[in-house]
């Protein structure tokens, strides 16, 4: 298929000269270079990345490592991969998918030792993710999509949860709401240590408090049935609530159903907004739900870019506070001003 030697022979130069001409590693006379490039083109020469990597210790391959999708990935998670692959590709890198199997840590350690990778991008990062210690120990460059509890000295791209909380609250107060509730994902074994579930709850609560809104939470739900129960429970104890933010797509299905069963019109009687749901999915609900759409593609992109940046420049430390990417507010038909006579209606 044509090796560098063939190119060199055809151009009447030494292999090292051909290499230099093709890579710009050292000066080559214009005429010589021309001959080499011509020979390479005629032969359809493509460098062997294995040979190159073996000696140069750089492969321009990154791995995206992710745990076994507990209950299947959603669109959001998948877009990390697409975004990261696109960014990597644009910068001349390749992205290897590295799903978790039987023994996650062992496999990751193994993979990083094979010389195949220049760095690793970690997805679905948990607050105390063990992969961080492992990669640090192995001295493998890495970056996170998401972040650990203490990401101060790490490269990471994550959602700007602070801003997300503020945006939700601002959207609602802007409409005139003075009281709201948040229905989070439940904290099971998986999500209990999963950053977004923890952070989002904290940040919305903080923003609501700061804005002087009355705030209710603790009615978490992952399924339609739980969502229905959540709204029932919520209205039983907090009948004054005029707006509710929901994290889980499925829970939102139940919330809307429960509202309808009670004769509550959305958004007339109750404003419903989603949080971290894609606009595409939010627009499938009826009414179309307002959502704060996660910047999934962008997070994937930024993660890959940061990792490559780090590879190019060893001296640079991670950006303080990482990269925080805001969500986009996409207003649907599910948010409106609260009724003036709200309390009377419910009474």
Partner DNA sequence: GTGAAAGCGCTAACAT
Partner DNA sequence: ATGTTAGCGCTTTCAC
Q: Which segment (28-36, 123-131, 228-236, 275-283) binds a second copy by CB under 8 A?
A: 275-283
Residues 6+ apart with CB under 8 A from 129: 122, 144, 148
Least distance to DNA, CB of residue 59, Å: 11
**Candidate residues 34, 38, 48, 316; the one interacting with DNA per rule CB under 7 A:** 48
Question: Which one, 54 or 316, has the nearer CB to DNA?
Answer: 54
Enumerate residues 1-40 that contact DNA by CB under 7 A: 3-5, 12-17, 19-20, 22-23, 25-29, 31-33
Q: How distant, in Å, are the alpha carbons of 96, 118, 126, 146, 195 from that of 129?
A: 21, 21, 5, 11, 10
184 and 200 Cβ atoms separated by less than 8 Å = yes
48 binds a second copy (CB under 8 A): yes
From candidates 51, 284, 316, 345, binder to DNA by CB under 7 A: 51
- Residue count at the site for DNA (CB under 7 A)? 30
Nearest to DNA of 23, 280 (CB atom)? 23
Q: Are 327 and 159 in contact (CB under 8 A)?
A: yes
Other beta carbons within 10 angstroms of residue 317's beta carbon come to: 9
> Which one among 115, 192, 268, 319 touches a second copy, defined by CB under 8 A?
115
For residue 253, the partner it binds in a second copy, DNA, none, with Cβ less than 5 to 8 A by kind, is a second copy
Contact by Cβ (8 Å): 165, 207: yes
Specify the stretch interacting with a second copy by CB under 8 A; choose among 8-16, 109-117, 179-187, 207-215: 109-117
Among 22, 96, 311, 337, binds a second copy (CB under 8 A): 96
Task: Tell me which of 124, 129, 249, 293 binds a second copy, using CB under 8 A.
Answer: 249
> In Å, how far are 9, 23, 40, 50 from 2, measured between CA atoms?
11, 17, 9, 15
CA dihedral for 283, 284, 288, 289, sign (positive or negative) = negative
Which residues lie across from 38 on neighbouring strands? none
Q: Which of 56, 89, 136, 237 binds DNA (CB under 7 A)?
A: 56
Of 8-16, 34-42, 83-91, 162-170, the segment contacting a second copy by CB under 8 A is 83-91
Q: Does 89 bind a second copy (CB under 8 A)?
A: yes
Q: Are 206 and 168 in contact (CB under 8 A)?
A: no
Please select the residue that binds a second copy; options are 19, 33, 40, 59, rule is CB under 8 A.
Answer: 59
Among 28, 85, 132, 164, binds a second copy (CB under 8 A): 85
Q: Peptide bond preceding 267: is omega within 30 degrees of 0, i.e. cis? A: yes
What distance lies between CA 155 and its chain's CA centroid?
Answer: 14
Alpha-carbon gap, residue 52 to 48, rounded angstroms: 6
DSSP3 helix / strand / coil % (the chain, rounded to 5): 45, 15, 40
Tokens read off for 128: 């105390």
From the list DNA, a second copy, none, partner contacted by residue 4 (C-beta under 5 to 8 A by kind): DNA
Tokens describing residue 261: 């069963």
Which of DNA, a second copy, none has residue 61 at its interface (CB below 5 to 8 Å by kind)? a second copy
Q: Which residues bind DNA (CB under 7 A)?
A: 3-5, 12-17, 19-20, 22-23, 25-29, 31-33, 45, 47-48, 51-52, 54-56, 115
């Amino acid at each position: 298929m044509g090796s560098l030697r063939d190119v060199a022979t055809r151009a009447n130069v030494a292999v090292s000269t051909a290499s230099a001409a093709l890579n710009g590693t050292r000066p080559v006379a214009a005429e010589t270079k021309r001959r080499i490039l011509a020979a390479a083109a005629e032969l359809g020469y493509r460098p062997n990345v294995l040979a190159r990597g073996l000696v140069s210790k750089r492969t321009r391959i990154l791995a995206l490592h992710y745990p076994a999708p507990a209950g299947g990935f959603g669109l959001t998670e998948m877009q990390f991969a697409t975004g990261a692959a696109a960014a990597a590709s644009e910068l001349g890198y390749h992205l290897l998918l590295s799903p978790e199997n039987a023994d996650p840590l062992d496999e990751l350690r193994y993979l990083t030792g094979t010389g195949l990778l220049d760095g690793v991008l970690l997805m679905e990062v948990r607050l105390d993710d063990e992969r961080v210690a492992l990669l640090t120990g192995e001295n493998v460059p890495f970056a996170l999509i998401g972040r650990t509890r203490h990401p101060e000295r790490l490269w990471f791209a994550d959602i700007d949860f602070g801003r997300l909380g503020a945006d939700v609250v601002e959207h609602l107060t802007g409409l005139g709401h003075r009281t709201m509730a948040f229905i989070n994902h439940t904290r099971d074994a998986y999500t209990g240590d999963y950053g977004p579930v923890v952070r989002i709850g904290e940040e919305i609560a903080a923003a609501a408090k700061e804005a002087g809104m009355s705030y209710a939470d603790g009615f978490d739900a992952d399924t339609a049935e739980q969502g229905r129960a959540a709204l029932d429970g919520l209205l039983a104890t907090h009948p004054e609530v005029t707006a509710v933010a929901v994290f889980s797509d499925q829970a939102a299905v139940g919330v809307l159903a429960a509202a309808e069963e009670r004769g509550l019109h959305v958004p007339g009687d109750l404003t419903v907004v989603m949080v971290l749901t894609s606009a595409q999915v939010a627009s499938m609900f009826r009414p179309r739900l307002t959502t704060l759409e996660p910047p999934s593609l962008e997070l994937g992109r930024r993660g890959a870019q940061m990792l490559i940046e780090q590879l190019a420049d060893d001296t640079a430390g991670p950006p303080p506070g990482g990269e925080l990417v805001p969500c986009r507010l996409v207003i649907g038909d599910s948010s409106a001003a609260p009724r003036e006579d709200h309390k009377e209606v419910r009474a």
